[in-house]
Structure 1
Amino acid sequence: MSTIALAAAFAGAATPALADDAPEDIIITAIGAAQNADETGQAVTIIDRAAIERSQAVVATDLLMRTPGVSVTRTGGPGAVTALRIRGAEDGQTLVLIDGVRAGDPSAPSGAFDFGHLMIGNFDRIEVVRGPNSVPWGSQALGGVVNIMTARPAEGLQARARAEYGSYDSVNATAQLSGSSGAFSGSIGGNWYRTDGVSQFAGGAERDGFRQYDANARLGIALGEDFDIDLRGNFADSRTDLDGFAPPTYAFGDTDEYSTAREIYGYAGLNARLFDGKLKNRLAFVIADIDRDNFNPDFGPAPSFLARGRTERFEYQGDLALSEMFRAVFGAETETSKLLTDDGFSRTAAKTGIDSFYGQIVVKPVAALTLTGGVRHDDHEQFGGHTTIGANAALKLGTGTLLRANYGEGFKAPTLFQLDASLTGYGNRLLKPEQAKSYDVGIQQTLLDGALVAGVTLFQRRTRNQIDFISCAAPLTGICANRPYGTYDNIARARAKGLEFLLEMKPVEALDFTASYSFTDAENRTPGANFGKDLARRPRHTVTATVDYAPMEGLSLGADVLHVGDSFDNAANSVRLDSYVLTGIRAAYTIDGRFTLYGRVDNLFDVNYQTVSGYGTFGRAAYIGVRAGF
């Protein structure tokens, strides 16, 4: 109740810029194609370039954790394994897109994208859809979708750069160049980051560092008025120091272990506009290739474990707009996923495929009402066919009121790691896909010519056939036959319900205030000892507040507060993670419109907290930097 009172005191709302959800904004993630933000009944948060620069964030999750309905856990400092959960769903149930490429890792047990290596770098925009959205996006979009877009080519020639230094000997440098000439347009950028970090083991005496360099590029080639080629690529190379479980005690503590990762995401597309632009066509090939290696110097220079995950995908999408009242978005996809693992004793290779077809209809029977409905069918090599539906409505009233309603279904195919029985005996080829059904309704009210925007969303999601790992004990019978180390099975059911309360205020031109309150009740509904208990690492209450003030031309001041409520670290709810409040302050001064000097202090009050039991986190940290644009 004290947390709810705190949220009411903030009168607060939600996103890093709720005003970005204005009617003139275009979103892509809701239906997989461009759409006005106020014409979807789904809950979408938009984080644009201005919000990214104001935040001064370097690690993407430092910004995403302030999004309504999102929680983040990390096993140490930057580079450590980082999980993002939307509305209480599992981290492997969040689909991540990087410039249109699905970025999940087929070699990871749950296929989850590791946010630990995701630097803000040259991001121009992030869209977050909260709730299942499998019709346009397919498998893994069960909890929600995070769509990340890098800088698009600009007209003429533009350049920008950023460099900063701060606590823990942290260095970050970013540069981006973009432009166009005739039929060609392009952008290229790079980012480098290193830090001494903190000990992953909370009681450790040595720091575990992290370094990463990454690059992004886009190239557009116009082949006339109605045809063009779109090429995109992203690359990241990283090394993360680890702590582990060393003999003879095998207790968690300081070790010399480390891991490396290389990630490549590529997109090649052909766009064609036919019938005076009424029918837009997109044909694309996308690839995601992720290599992970773990090293333990105590056992020699060779990797102690390696994993290779690769996804190749062909996509076609059609977008037919017959009038302002009727639109159809449809498509077909075929995907192949591959996995290779080697633990020094055995080497395993596996692959699978999935073919998909989908269609969505968007109608506006009257100008104020937009109705969207869709269906998708996926045919997986292992578990066969599955059909998903979704529908939503958005109603704009003349009073500045926007009403939303949404029903969404989601499904997630079992991963190669979970399916393949040859993977040290863990796999189970009889697995069924995880499925979810979600409902949410919301209202957003705009007053005082946009100076005040408030909104609230209520949601509920039920998940069944959730895949969990189960331990096996002798005698090995039934599902445990020939699996002495355990296996995966469809044993779990879960339910999540809650609300997201949002508010943005601009009382005067120089002052912006945003805040949010999220309540998430994520509960285990699996019959057994843990029935009715909270799902692990899902805080029930989260409050955020951000204020930005520009007292004079060129100068901006800001502060952020994040309150995360209590949660549990395990399914049995026997290990508690205490609540915490993090406060940050920042300032920036722009010189001659091109150069900006900035600085910030994170965790101002040096709060000691943990998001995963036993793992360390940053204390108070200060950073200074310079940003330039030409």
Structure 2
Amino acid sequence: MPSVLATSAPPARGHGRVDKGPTVKSVFTFAVSLSALTAAAPALAQQAPAPDAATTETHGDIVVTATRTPVSIDQVPASITVLDKASIDRSQDIGATELLLRTPGISISRNGGYGTSTSLRIRGAESDHTVVVIDGVKLNDPAATGGGFNFANLLAGDIARIEVLRGPQSILWGSQAIGGVVNIVTAEASSDYEGSFDVEAGSRQTVSARAAVGGRTGPLSWRLGAQAFSTDGISAIAPAFGGKEPDGYTNQNLAGRARLDLTANLSAEVRGYYSNGRVDIDSTSGDNADYSRNEEFVGYAGVNLDLLDGRLRNRFGYAYTDTDRDSFGPARARPLSFESEGRNKRLEYQGSFAFTRGISATFGVENERSKFRSRSPAASLATPLPAFATGNAEITSAYAQLSVEPIEGLTLNGGIRHDDHNRFGGQTLFAAGGVWRLPTGTILRANYGEGFKAPSLYQQFSEYGNVALAPERATGWEAGAEQQLFGRKLVIGATWFERTTTDQIIYNGCTTTSTVPLCFVPGSTTVRRFGYYSNVSRAEARGIEVSGALNLAGFTLDGNYSWIEAEDRSAGTATFGNWLPRRPRETANGSIGYAFPFGLSTGAAVRWAGHSFDNAANTTRLDNYTLVDLRAELKANEAFSVFARAENVFDEEYMTAYRYGTLGRSFYAGIRGRF
């Protein structure tokens, strides 16, 4: 409810190969044919929405684009939360993770302070079951364990809007969107010349500086933003387990976008995002001087073409992502201990068509090619560098979703997607949902969706890989109600959801005496390895999300509560019925704020998380915790303000991952400018 062909591989396996699915040629033929059919429809005044998840088009009260077109939030069947620029500024959070934690159904685990490995889970799903989208481009790392996104280096930067779409979203976003989608949109110029900056400093020698400039000159619109962040940090290993020395973190990121209107109905645009982070890390046994580097690049170039007076809108794009990760141990004879690179190249066409007022369609085709390489060099210089583990994959997809408003206030959606994976064959997915907006301010929602995730390249071809893995599959549904009162000044609502995931992939460790064939290096019966991946797991999740918000004459009050039962339901295993690791069953967030007439805004926020377990056996418990934050901002004038905040005011000691430290009481202050 409201408030991202393998190297040395065997031939394609039999499962799922009866339907080979569309080829690249046939799916693009599908798109061209659909455009031709829609061109024959009678011309009407109705215009189609922009087929772009990064558009800044607005209409209505609150518009979201995680649906790949701008839609009023009251017309989205799935649960969604929107954080706009005002709420992002108001929270004063440095990282996107802290912003997301304030929304329903979200939990994280982090291996230390800022910059350390950070996993985000939506509704108890795996962290790699979340699609992260930055300015319309899916950002995942094919070289990561599950092919997912590490939130460690995603700072607030020049982000203008964050949308969290919960539940299976594979129709529009494809493989991996089992848990949901986090859609991030950076700012776009809205005036002839504009700029902004934020500078702050605080505990542990933390300094953050951000600036952005942009403008519109005739047909050209552009904006460029940059941020630098540095902190001495905390020990990645918690003090209770021997961690003493601080582990620092630095990050520099850059985001930009430009659009050129070539004619009244034709435009071209480019977008880019770059992040470079360095973080000190500890070994599981305690402090050391090891560190890791993470470099991410996202690039996009596209052309937008509107036809039939805007009733048919088309986008042709090319997206590229590159993630490099390296780890170093300065005390080693060979400092480099790990290196990996994951790349994605995506060609895509997306269209939207308005048949009549109240009937529209979103459709498209995509071709994605991904590859990875990784290796772990030995510390001894006498040991030759090992060959890279490598792999690549290709997936071609076609999708379509129809939205119909048969009567005023009722919106019905239905969609279909077909993915053709070069190793796992064809997979067809369905989704359907509806929203009913009643004159009383009541909104009823229901939604059903399916998910499909091919094994990651790392899970197939790394030193722990298993080329016999099958794809993970999921089905989920939700139903909820929302009540808006007093012109939306008071909004309350609740949603119930359920999800089942089958063939879930897990890591299995090997003992030194194991006789399991997969505990040996493929092709060998004598060379052992530490573990392997396999499809042995079934998971089920169900729960309720409740939220409310009051906004009245400068006074704001909001909160949410989530109860999520995420369990291992793998029949015949020792872990059957256990909680899935690092997923608290209960979480709650609340905040209160007041804006005084003379320009002072104050607020307080609280987050409570129930206990969880760190391991699948549920033998290592992570205790519940409560965090309290305070904030204040004073406007000197319309352009400048000063702000300050205190985080974890009561210096709560807690862990989201066993043995790893978390930030204690912290104080920050800074200045902000908008012009």
TM-score range, shorter chain: over 0.9
Change over 3 Å in CA distance of 1:510–1:84 after alignment to 2 = same
| 1:547-626 equivalences in 2 (<5 Å) | 547-626=592-671
Question: Take 2:203 and 2:569, find their aligned partners in 1: how far apart are those partners?
Answer: 44
Q: Deviations over 1:134-154 (max 9, x none)?
A: 000001101100011111122
Moved over 6 A (4+): none
Deviates more, 1:479-488 or 1:332-341: 479-488
Name the amino acid aligned to 2:259: G
Aligned to 1:303: 336
Name the amino acid aligned to 1:223: L
Name the amino acid aligned to 2:655: Q
Pick from 260, 269, 279: which aligns with 1:221? 260
Question: Take 1:446 and 1:38, find their aligned partners in 2: how far apart are those partners?
Answer: 11
| 1:230-379 equivalences in 2 (<5 Å) | 230-245=269-284, 252-300=285-333, 302-344=335-377, 345-379=386-420
1:196 and 1:209 in contact (8 A); partners too = yes
Question: Take 2:80 and 2:515, find their aligned partners in 1: how far apart are those partners?
Answer: 47
Aligned to 1:172: 208
1:588 and 1:599 in contact (8 A); partners too = yes
Aligned to 2:471: 433
Question: Take 1:329 and 1:216, find their aligned partners in 2: how far apart are those partners?
Answer: 28
Name the amino acid aligned to 1:525: R
Aligned to 2:504: 466
Question: Take 1:77 and 1:295, find their aligned partners in 2: how far apart are those partners?
Answer: 19
Aligned to 1:18: none
Change over 3 Å in CA distance of 1:283–1:448 after alignment to 2 = same
Question: Take 2:189 and 2:421, find their aligned partners in 1: how far apart are those partners?
Answer: 37
2:2 and 2:79 in contact (8 A); partners too = no
Q: Say whether 1:70 aligns with 2:106.
A: yes
How many angstroms does 1:583 deviate by? 0.1
Q: Deviations over 1:310-340 (max 9, x none)?
A: 0000000110111122111110000110101
SS at structure 1 position matched to 2:309: coil
How many angstroms does 1:14 deviate by? 8.1
Question: Take 2:293 and 2:209, find their aligned partners in 1: how far apart are those partners?
Answer: 20
SS at structure 2 position matched to 1:304: strand
Deviates more, 1:178-187 or 1:299-308: 299-308
Question: Take 1:214 and 1:285, find their aligned partners in 2: how far apart are those partners?
Answer: 22
Name the amino acid aligned to 1:229: A
| 1:45-60 equivalences in 2 (<5 Å) | 45-60=81-96
Change over 3 Å in CA distance of 1:361–1:160 after alignment to 2 = same
2:234 and 2:661 in contact (8 A); partners too = yes
Change over 3 Å in CA distance of 1:466–1:604 after alignment to 2 = same
TM-score when normalising by structure 2: 0.88
Q: Say whether 1:406 aligns with 2:442.
A: no
Q: Say whether 1:395 aligns with 2:436.
A: yes
Question: Take 2:428 and 2:2, find their aligned partners in 1: how far apart are those partners?
Answer: 33
SS at structure 2 position matched to 1:297: coil
How many angstroms does 1:478 deviate by? 5.0
Question: Take 1:154 and 1:327, find their aligned partners in 2: how far apart are those partners?
Answer: 28
Pick from 386, 391, 400: which aligns with 2:427? 386
1:14 and 1:67 in contact (8 A); partners too = no
Question: Take 2:169 and 2:620, find their aligned partners in 1: how far apart are those partners?
Answer: 33
How many angstroms does 1:98 deviate by? 0.9
Change over 3 Å in CA distance of 1:475–1:578 after alignment to 2 = closer
Question: Take 2:665 and 2:317, find their aligned partners in 1: how far apart are those partners?
Answer: 46
Question: Take 1:481 and 1:293, find their aligned partners in 2: how far apart are those partners?
Answer: 26
Pick from 478, 482, 498: which aligns with 2:543? 498
How many angstroms does 1:24 deviate by? 2.4
Name the amino acid aligned to 2:277: S
Give percent identity, aligned residues only: 42
Question: Take 2:497 and 2:490, find their aligned partners in 1: how far apart are those partners?
Answer: 24
Q: Say whether 1:514 aligns with 2:551.
A: no
| 1:137-152 equivalences in 2 (<5 Å) | 137-152=173-188
Q: What is the RMSD of the two structures over their aligned residues, measured on CA atoms?
A: 1.4
SS at structure 1 position matched to 2:596: strand
Change over 3 Å in CA distance of 1:14–1:375 after alignment to 2 = closer
Aligned to 2:117: 81
Question: Take 1:312 and 1:39, find their aligned partners in 2: how far apart are those partners?
Answer: 32
Name the amino acid aligned to 1:25: I
Aligned to 2:380: none
Name the amino acid aligned to 1:410: G
Change over 3 Å in CA distance of 1:467–1:155 after alignment to 2 = same
Question: Take 1:478 and 1:623, find their aligned partners in 2: how far apart are those partners?
Answer: 54
Name the amino acid aligned to 2:497: F
Higher strand share: 1
1:470 and 1:489 in contact (8 A); partners too = yes
Deviates more, 1:49-58 or 1:508-517: 508-517
SS at structure 1 position matched to 2:592: strand
Q: Deviations over 1:414-451 (max 9, x none)?
A: 1111112xx32x22222111111111001000112222
SS at structure 1 position matched to 2:90: helix
Aligned to 1:106: 142
SS at structure 2 position matched to 1:92: helix
How many angstroms does 1:63 deviate by? 1.1
Pick from 548, 551, 575: which aligns with 1:530? 575
1:153 and 1:218 in contact (8 A); partners too = no
Aligned to 1:10: none
2:110 and 2:656 in contact (8 A); partners too = yes
SS at structure 2 position matched to 1:429: coil
Change over 3 Å in CA distance of 1:481–1:304 after alignment to 2 = closer
Q: Deviations over 1:571-599 (max 9, x none)?
A: 01001000000000000000121111000
Q: Say whether 1:207 aligns with 2:252.
A: no
Name the amino acid aligned to 2:554: A
Name the amino acid aligned to 1:395: W
Question: Take 1:470 and 1:302, find their aligned partners in 2: how far apart are those partners?
Answer: 29
1:382 and 1:429 in contact (8 A); partners too = no
SS at structure 2 position matched to 1:418: helix
Aligned length: 602
SS at structure 1 position matched to 2:342: strand
- Runs (5+) with no aligned partner, structure 1: 1-12, 16-20, 246-251
Question: Take 2:519 and 2:112, find their aligned partners in 1: how far apart are those partners?
Answer: 34
1:85 and 1:91 in contact (8 A); partners too = yes
Change over 3 Å in CA distance of 1:22–1:460 after alignment to 2 = farther
Aligned to 1:25: 62
Name the amino acid aligned to 2:199: A
